Amino acid sequence: MPYYHKLGNIPHKRHTQFRRPDGSLYSEQLFSTEGFSSDYSLLYHCHPPTAIIQTEEPYDVMPRIAEEKMLKHRSFEGFKVKPGADFIKSRVPVLVNNDCHVVLAAPTESMTGYFYKNADADEMLFIHEGSGRLLTQYGVIPFAYGDYLVIPRGTIYQLEFENSNNRLLIVESFSPIRFPSRYMSKHGQLLEHSPYCERDIRAPQHLLTTDEKGDFVIRTKKKGRMYHIHYGYHPFDVIGWDGCCYPFAFSIHDFEPITGRVHQPPPVHQTFEAHNFVICSFVPRLYDYHPQSIPAPYNHSNIDSDEVLYYVDGDFMSRKHVTRGMITLHPGGIPHGPHPGTVEKSIGAKETRELAVMIDTFHPLQLTEEALAIENSGYTMSWAE
């Protein structure tokens, strides 16, 4: 999905001899999330990336489903998820289906003593609170408030936080996360009408080449189980790489909103797409400029999709009692829209300062036990106030 990028030293031709100063060969690795049929990168390791020296018994990390089927509006207080020291253990799945998992996390410590790899899903980490660095085989990506970190499945990484106050929204996608196809030219460039361009995409920099022998644990998630696999060489022993499959960052603050004379539909906010769901960004923007416009969104029927909205910051003219980190779920099958009184109140307003992430899934979501523990009671009836 990203454009071609390279770091470090690579041979002139792929799949040819590339030798270390002592005459031994570097070890080439092709990395792709769709076999040999899509974007890929070639990484050159100091040592083969296959040297497993020990394995441990896996343990179960499947989400615990509380409700498989339901048809009512729901709301959850995301910031009620308790902070945890360990990044992996702090991850709390709240809404799931076979296409994606929506997860909250509040890690207080950096990842030390192990590395992490999701072998099932691309990951989109939205940084609501906190800052630090994403460390990968491809190099380093600094991150801060408002950043999306898109990490292809199979990427080995660590998160290094600057402090203990961190809040993350994570989407695990069981298909590749891409730029929306309507934003792309047939040759893969972001088009002029796209709300962002290649200049906004931050690729890894500062390649970390760690030529070190030892015992390195990669916690690997596969089919709802966590495996601890020990390797004999540091996973960041890459001397160079090139290609189009790698992690990247994009800031929600660099999303350029599309506005019009009358209220624009949600697809104008789309940021990423995957199989059977999309991710959208709601950012500060001017309201509609038709003299009779109604800035508040119109009521609409969710028939084909579940709509999830994660509230980040700002004032939301269409909804009452919004808190930071709040999640609303409007399931497919029933209409939803502004709360009573907010439509009339929005008339005459010139702009909104809201910031939110929306996830629309085309198959129903299931609620986990952890979701019920942070649910706002009474939300379903809040339109009758």
Asked if residue 306 belongs to a known ligand binding site, the reply is: yes
**Tokens 């799949």 found at:** 15
Residue 358 in tokens: 């929306």
Would you say 336 is a known binding-site residue? yes
- Measured CA to CA in angstroms, residue 339 lies from 219, 319, 322, 385 at distances of 44, 5, 11, 8
Nearest to 310 by CA among 78, 73, 98, 67: 78
Backbone angles phi, psi at 339, to 5 degrees: -70, 155
The rounded distance, in Å, linking the Cα atoms of 370 and 357 is: 20
Which residue is catalytic, options 230, 263, 275, 363? 263
Q: Residue 154 — left, alpha, or beta (φ > 0 → left; ψ -120 to 50 → alpha)? A: left
In terms of Cα–Cα distance, which of 44, 40, 41 is closest to 10?
44
What's the token pair of residue 347? 């008339």
363 Cβ partners below 8 Å, 6+ apart?
A: 97, 98, 99, 276, 306
By C-alpha distance, which of 382, 362, 252, 364 is closest to 310? 252
Q: Which residues pair with 282 in a beta bridge?
A: 356
Active site residue 263: yes
Alpha carbon distance 67, 44 (integer Å): 46
Phi-psi region for residue 378, left (φ > 0), alpha (ψ -120 to 50) or beta? left
In the 8-state DSSP scheme, what is residue 268? G
- 237 and 46 in contact (C-beta within 8 Å)? yes
Contacts of 12 (CB under 8 A, 6+ apart): none
Q: Regarding beta strands 300-302 and 334-336, do their DSSP bridges make them parallel or antiparallel, or are they unpaired? A: antiparallel
Cβ(50)–Cβ(356) below 8 Å: no
What's the CA gap between 380 and 51, in Å, rounded?
A: 54
What residues are annotated to the active site?
263
Enumerate the known binding-site residues for homogentisate: 336
Binding-site residue ranges: 300, 306, 336
Residue positions in the annotated binding site for Fe cation? 300, 306, 336
